[in-house]
Chains A and B, each alone.
Chain A
Amino acid sequence: MGPHDPALTAIWLGSMVLAGLAVAAFCAVLTARVLGRGRAARRRRLTLEILSAASATDPAANACHLVDAVREAARAGVLARTIVEAMGLLGGAARERFLANLFTAGAPAHLRRASTRKGADARLLARTALALFAAGPPPQAAMQARGVVRRRAA
């Protein structure tokens, strides 16, 4: 067992590689967690924005803001969940208003795209949300407001 023993070199090398892999994997999940905290905060903010903007009685007043929020929420993957969970809480006129406002902001198009993406849970949620829109024809008010939104967004 001399100083240039190949077994010794192999042990040191193996140990270093193993240690490096373990520490790198652990640091990766730790970093993902820290970054994930930022993402979670952004998702919460978007959810609140959509809930408040889409529940407004005057859709035109919040139209542009809602279009942006819907787009951003769809990108962050929280649109379908927000809609499905909010529909469980709202009732009657508030429920119709909520759907109508989101319809005018173009939510169904985002949901249709989400319903074909990866992730079984996300697909199911997007289809559930789409089914809520498909349950009835869009209210007349929403159809009229849609034109307003498009004009303002342009």
Chain B
Amino acid sequence: MTILHLAVLVVVVVMLAHHAIQFTLLGLAVRAMIRRPPRRVGIAHGPAPVLPPVSVILPAFNEAAGIVASVRAILGSRHPDFEVVVVSDGSTDDTVDRLVAAFGLVPCTVPDHGPLDHQRVRTAWRSPLVSGLLVLETDNGGKASALNAGVSAARGTLVACVDADCLLERDGLARATRPFIEAGGDAVIAVGGSVRVANGRLWQAGRLNVTGRGPGLWPLVQTVEYLRAFAVARLGWSEIGAVTLVSGAFGVFRRDAVLWVGGYDRSTIGEDMELVVRLHRRHREAGRPCRIVALADPIAWTEVPHSLDVLRRQRTRWQRGALETLWRHRVMLVDPRYGRPGRIGLAAGVLCDVVVPVAETVGLVAMPLLWMTGALSPAHWLAFLCLGTVTGVAHSMGALVFDELGMRRITRTRDLALLGAAALIENFGFRQLVAWWRVCATAQWLAGRGAGWGAMPRRGLADPLAG
């Protein structure tokens, strides 16, 4: 057996293990949905009477295109007690000016620095018209710094960290805060919401409406990816208590727990995953109860990259963030006291984030080489290709069917059909491209080459005709 044969064998085993994990997660998600189907927040269209107070923190860097719509969406939330804290992280565009104009903000006393590490707060604004809206302008220090500034200034028992380009559904906050009271104590320290792709929709009159314009090919493919990740995988991990990532786009945390572990780490680019893993680690080391859950029904809608270049930068950042966290908390992989988050969640992270992209890329190179040298028959090559493609398609279609039966948030039949087509198309080029980007990001990380956030241009979801 040659090295190429061995490589192909390893690739096939790794890919089969990867798909086995994905289908197991799909099964677990189905079990979670059967056990706890999404509920209406209140039978009489009202919120539950007792929910803990929440501070919604929006870190914003040059988010002028969508910041007003995002804040309006949150202000329209059906939750009895919440405030909104927007932290402009040294924005150089008119993010703050738009907020000042939209909500009639006036300068107010800058709140105390607080216990967490963040950049200096230059100015603070409050609205005399809208109670519970606080805007902080800080020196530029990155997303973690902005989030720390927001958590420091927050007054709520819970903090909901929401990306400034996200639009929160009206029931999103109420749904995401329920597990904290249903658990009846300190057990639940974080809840991850679900993030969906809003490209092709417009924020009009307080609602996110579908429009005639399509989302475009890349956002369509990303929609399938997001469904797999948020509607299925996170729910599956949550079912076995092994959630290691609460997306920075929408997550709710107990404020005291975040303060206890020192807030977001400013030295990593994947601050959301790092915080969640550190929460698991510190709580388990101290023998404190710790449960982090993911739900499918609290939904935030986000605008995903339109172009491949922006998408590449985003995926490179995600990959580096995951690698940094995995490396920093590698002890959790082997030490049994860290339980399922370490031995299952992080171990799966190593397989899916580190091994699978490399294996997929090696397979793509090794199989044609073996075929050309006559070491692999065309029939076998085709069979392996077919198996890889079919399992990918089946997994994506499974996610679509699961979402359709459990959540039913895809508004139009045409969109569902298009997503079905995207589930097929993504296996011919897109998936391989993403794997290649992840391999490159891994190589850059190993070489110690730095990477920043880079510009993330937004089109904005607000209706341009609405002014």
- Chain A residues close to B by CB (< 8 Å): 1, 3, 5, 8, 11-12, 14-16, 18-19, 21-23, 25-26, 28-30, 33-34, 37, 121, 124
Contact = CB atoms under 8 A, between A and B. Distances in A.
- Per DSSP, chain A at the interface is helix
A96 B129 CA distance: 42
A26 B420 contact: yes
B28 interface: no
Contacts, number: 60
28 contacts: A1-B376, A3-B379, A8-B380, A11-B383, A11-B386, A16-B390, A18-B391, A18-B394, A19-B393, A22-B394, A22-B397, A23-B397, A25-B397, A26-B397, A26-B401, A28-B401, A29-B400, A29-B404, A29-B405, A29-B416, A30-B417, A30-B420, A33-B404, A33-B413, A33-B416, A37-B413, A121-B40, A124-B43
Contacts of A18: 390-391, 394
Contacts of A124: 43
Interface string B382-415: 0110110011011001101100110000000100
Given A8-B379, A26-B401, 6 more contacts: A12-B383, A22-B397, A29-B400, A29-B405, A30-B420, A33-B413
Given A18-B394, A22-B394, A22-B398, A30 B386 contact: no
A22 B396 CA distance: 9
B92 interface: no
A67 to B, nearest CB: 30
Contact of B416 (A3, A30, A121): A30
A33 B420 CA distance: 14
Contact of B401 (A5, A8, A15, A29): A29
A93 B43 CA distance: 26
A11 B387 contact: yes
B307 interface: no
Contacts of A14: 387
B44 to A, nearest CB: 9
B416 A22 contact: no
B394 A19 contact: yes
Interface residues of B, number: 25
A14 B391 CA distance: 10
Given A25-B397, A25-B398, A30-B413, A19 B390 contact: yes
Contacts of A26: 397, 400-401, 420, 423
B383 A8 contact: yes
Contacts of A21: 394
A26 B393 CA distance: 11
B377 interface: yes
Contacts of B401: 25-26, 28-29
Contacts of B397: 22-23, 25-26
A121 B40 CA distance: 10
A15 B416 contact: no
Contacts of B377: 1, 3
Interface in B411-447: 413, 416-417, 420, 423
B417 to A, nearest CB: 6
B380 A1 contact: yes
Contacts of A5: 380
Nearest to A34: B413
A5 B423 CA distance: 31
The 9 closest A-B pairs by CB, nearest first: A22-B394, A22-B397, A15-B390, A11-B383, A29-B404, A26-B397, A19-B390, A25-B401, A33-B413
Nearest to A121: B40
A25 B218 CA distance: 25
B423 to A, nearest CB: 8
Contacts of B384: 11
A25 B391 CA distance: 14
Interface in B39-90: 40, 43
Name the residue in B394, B404, B405, B417 with the highest tally of chain A Cβ atoms < 10 Å from its Cβ.
B394
Contacts of A8: 379-380, 383
